[in-house]
Structure 1
Amino acid sequence: MKSIVFFLLILASFSSFSQNQIQPGLIGFDVIRDDIPRGKVDTVKYTSKTVGNERTTTVYTPPLYSKNKKYPVLYLLHGIGGDEFEWLNGGHAEVIFDNLYAQNKLEPMIVVMPNGRAMKDDRATGNIMASDKVEAFATFEKDLLQDLIPFIEKKYPVIIDREHRAIAGLSMGGGQALNFGLGNLDVFAWVGGFSSAPNTKSPAELVPNPEETKKKLKLLFISCGDADGLLGFSKRTHEYLEATNVPHYYYPIPGGQHDFKVWKESLYNFVPLVFKESK
């Protein structure tokens, strides 16, 4: 089967790409293998001036990680009921990354999985739909830009420019990724929204200047299960991008629900495209 990257290179002039150009998750892509090198996951604390306390993030460093090398960074966001451990506990993201590295499909990168609920009581307990907890997902934009990214860039050997920063997320985190990524093209050049939730801004708000977005954005990846009740939020964004000729991937996953089966397959397809220049 031809790789996803092959299709990106050949079809880069199209405004969107159908699901037939995306590779479904192969059997075992999310299963731990004992015969390959593995990356490492650390739980790290950083000071948030935005929130006014210490916050926790998890950080994945790739196999053969070296402090003497510079890396790009992917910020990977969770959903409304999750936290900084959701992509690890529910999505086994580190396993997916390890297996893709073993197949030589990824550019070496650091992956930061923060808590996207920027408030002092940032656990997903009680009424997760309470107004203050929902609002905290919007507040996270300031925490991300002013607190977390500077911390990561001081603690880890990362390349400090927009071309080497990516952001993606699932559900509520998918909305955050589209809002923050497309709203800060001076910070991020690679953006992915998986099953993006109602917190996603309207398409005209996300991309008020299509020509600027086309010039600055390296990749925009939008996916959702086609049986997901939230599909409309992804579909309307896709339709606007198509109408304004903004290149992007649109990947409605056949039969997909609002669950980790869809989000893992989305991650599996998104990350091999990140930090790779199309020619």
Structure 2
Amino acid sequence: MRKIICTALWIFSFSLLSQAQKTAPKGFDIEQKLMSTGKIDSIIYPSKTVGVSRKALIYTPPGYDIQKRYPVLYLLHGIGGDEREWLRHGNPQVILDNLYGEGKIEPMVVVMPNGRAMKDDRSGGNVMAPDRVAAFSTFEKDLINDLIPYIEQQFSVVRDREHRAIFGLSMGGGQALNFGLGHIDTFAWVGGFSSAPNTKMPQELLPVPKEAKEKLKLLWISCGDQDGLLHISKRTHEYLLAHEVPHIYYLEPGGHDFNVWKNDLYQIAQLLFKVVK
């Protein structure tokens, strides 16, 4: 059973959720005939953190205009993936293009980086090797000190926290929560899909709940109801609930797979960078 939990204190988040459908409709991730579509490009940015140039994918929206400034969503992959995982399995450009075609989302740039910050950052092999797991933590510095400055220098984006979001799936969900809540002065929109055990314990994740109450535009926690990692999302939700931190907790049908994560992207894309009227 799908569960969406909000309290009377969470009017902002509840109002945002009401703007999106609770379950993505059939065909939401299938390419449609549209007047205009976005563009996916591969970029290479210098990483002082790692000491090499690193790859990322970037989606620019239909009608991208360098005379305008766009908000940015940083969208992270899982432990076995790389910067192309979302593209290979999630059809993010199709989901977003279809939503743009229906007028349901704000124009935004979406950056899909490689969250394994090490010199040999290729996917495959022993994903649980200590150096490869540690590289997911190292990505915090690479993201903040290297990737974000590069994006803001090279693309026409807004350079403030109110126009930056960070979300991810599984290991990337843990990263998004760890980094987003650890850098509330950098991100105003934060969320994890089926977050993995790399997610910090709630007390460490958000030791000062008041900060999140005052500064976050949206805090999203979601997971499939058949996912073996559900307890990670549940413990985070329960801590936020106990401390009256506004957030959306979305328990949806499914396991630990892209059927769930594509639906999550469909949902959050409609919430980001909007003002409740």
TM-score range normalised by the length of the shorter chain: over 0.9
Residues 1:118 and 2:117 are matched in the alignment: yes
The 8 Å contact of residues 223 and 253 in structure 1, kept in 2 or not, is answered as yes
Evaluate the alpha carbon distance shift between residue 103 and residue 15 of structure 1 in structure 2; reply closer, same or farther with a 3 A threshold: closer
One of 235, 260, 263 as aligned partner of 1:262: 260
In the alignment, the residues of structure 1 paired with residue 208 and residue 106 of structure 2 have an alpha-carbon distance, to the nearest angstrom, of 30
> Quick one: which amino acid aligns to residue 262 of structure 1?
V
Counterpart check, 1:83 vs 2:82: yes
Secondary structure in structure 2 of the residue aligned to 1:273: coil
Give the Å deviation of 1:257.
Answer: 0.6
> 2:29 aligns to what SS in structure 1?
coil
Q: Give the C-alpha shift of residue 198 in structure 1.
A: 0.3
In the alignment, what sits opposite 2:188?
189
What residue is the counterpart of 2:52 in the other structure? Answer: 53
Deviation for aligned residue 1:125:
2.1
Give the secondary-structure state (helix, strand or coil) at the position aligned to 2:90.
Answer: coil
Is the CA contact 2:83–2:114 (under 8 Å) kept in the aligned structure 1? yes
> Matches of 1:90 and 1:197 in 2, distance apart?
19
What is the match of residue 222 of structure 1? Answer: 221
Structure 2: distance between partners of 1:181 and 1:277: 20
Residue 189 of structure 1 deviates from its aligned partner by 0.2
Q: 2:11 is paired with a residue of what secondary structure?
A: coil
1:35 Cα deviation (Å)?
3.0
Post-superposition Cα deviations, 1:132-170, rounded to whole Å, max 9, x if no partner, equal: 000000000000000000000000011100000000000
Deviations 1:51-107 (A, max 9, x none): 000100000000011111000000000000100001111000010000010111111
1:94 partnered with 2:93:
yes
Give yes or no for contact 1:222–1:249 (8 Å, CA) kept in 2.
yes
Find the counterpart in structure 1 of residue 149 from structure 2.
150
- When residues 186 and 14 of structure 1 are mapped into structure 2, their CA distance, relative to the original with a 3 A threshold, is closer
Structure 2 counterpart of 1:213: 212
Change (3 A) 1:159 1:268: same
Task: Provide the C-alpha distance between the structure 1 equivalents of 2:28 and 2:35, rounded to a whole number of angstroms.
Answer: 13
Assess if the C-alpha contact under 8 Å between 2:34 and 2:101 holds in 1: no
Matched, 1:164 2:163: yes
Q: Which residue of 2 aligns with 1:179?
A: 178
* Greater Cα shift, 169-178 or 207-216: 207-216
- Out of 257, 269, 277, the residue aligned to residue 275 of structure 2 is 277
State how far apart, in whole Å, the 2-side matches of 1:266 and 1:212 are: 25
The gaps in structure 1 that reach 5 residues or longer are none
**1:14 CA drift (Å):** 7.8
How big is the shift at 1:41?
0.4
Contact 1:39 1:64 in 2 (8 A): yes
Question: Residue 191 of structure 2 aligns to a residue in which SS?
Answer: strand
Helix, strand or coil: the match of 1:113? Answer: strand
| TM-score between both structures, scaled by the size of structure 1 | 0.93
Conserved 8 A contact 1:224-1:252: yes
Question: Does the aligned pair in 1 maintain the 2:117–2:142 contact within 8 Å?
Answer: yes
Q: Deviations over 1:162-218 (max 9, x none)?
A: 000000000000000000001100000001100000000011111111111100000
Match for 1:117: what amino acid? R
Say if 1:85 and 1:129 are closer, same or farther in 2 by CA, change over 3 A: same
Give the letter for the 2:185 counterpart: D
Q: Does 1:24 align with 2:23?
A: yes
Runs (4+) off by over 2 Å? 10-17, 19-22
Q: CA deviation at 1:15?
A: 8.2
Shift of 1:16: 7.5
Give how far 1:11 is off. 7.9
Cα distance, 1:182–1:22 mapped onto 2, change above 3 Å: farther
Number of residue pairs matched by the alignment:
271
For the residues of structure 2 that align with 1:145 and 1:95, how far apart are their CA atoms? Answer: 28
